[in-house]
Structure 1
């Protein structure tokens, strides 16, 4: 890959992490293009699917809703779950180490763009029991 190819990245051009609840295509990060302070990618959730409550110790996360609608839970400072209905255009900030979950409640697919800072939390996903690596197309 040339330097330009590493700057402009489409989800189908990178290996994806697949799970029973959906998939994550990391389009930016140390292993993709050398990004050192953050990583991120596109998450696809099918109708009725979502990821379970989890956190990323020592890392913050940004979730941006590209398409679809759903329920986003982010715990408050006391650990109480706060759930909001989200739709395209919504940006969700997940403070460092805070538990959160996403559920697609819409009639079709839900697509998100997620950013982790610092890098690393996404690699822990490889340890989940339903993890599958889907090779890039072409």
Structure 2
């Protein structure tokens, strides 16, 4: 757990690194004792994105902090719905729905993601390109 567990910057925690970008969990049971949700900052370099996946039993909120891209969310019939998203957009991913995000802009795309309940992000540790990146401060 970080020293001051109320005010956390992405640099204060170890990040999950992947070929497509990184996730810095700033809210999670193991970071600050949050029990009902987890979340953090995702950074996607230009042209990168995470592939279609889902979080069984969990909902997700994605807020676009900066950048622009394409977001796909599966509808209630299993059909993909894709929209252009940019800073200020909030995306709701219903429980267990497949989704993907791709940065189509010229610079980094920053997202804040929230999982409810906490836990789906831990499955990311099992991906073949997972690496733990040390905290930066």
TM-score by length of 2: 0.98
Q: How big is the alpha-carbon RMSD for the aligned residues of Structure 1 and Structure 2?
A: 0.7
Give unmatched runs, 5+ long, in structure 1. Answer: none
Distance of 1:36 and 1:27 partners within structure 2: 13
Residue 7 of structure 1 aligns to a residue whose secondary structure is coil
1:43 is the counterpart of 2:42: yes
TM-score by length of 1: 0.97
Q: Partner residue of 1:8?
A: 7
Q: Partner residue of 2:51?
A: 52
Q: Partner residue of 1:79?
A: 78
Stretches of 4+ moved more than 2 A in 1?
none
Distance of 2:28 and 2:133 partners within structure 1: 17
Give unmatched runs, 5+ long, in structure 2. Answer: none
Q: Partner residue of 1:112?
A: 111
Deviations 1:14-71 (A, max 9, x none): 0000000000000001000000000000000000000000000000000000000000
Distance of 1:10 and 1:129 partners within structure 2: 27
Q: Partner residue of 1:128?
A: 127
Alpha-carbon deviation of 1:137?
1.9
Alpha-carbon deviation of 1:72?
0.2
Distance of 2:135 and 2:98 partners within structure 1: 30
Task: State the number of aligned residues.
Answer: 136
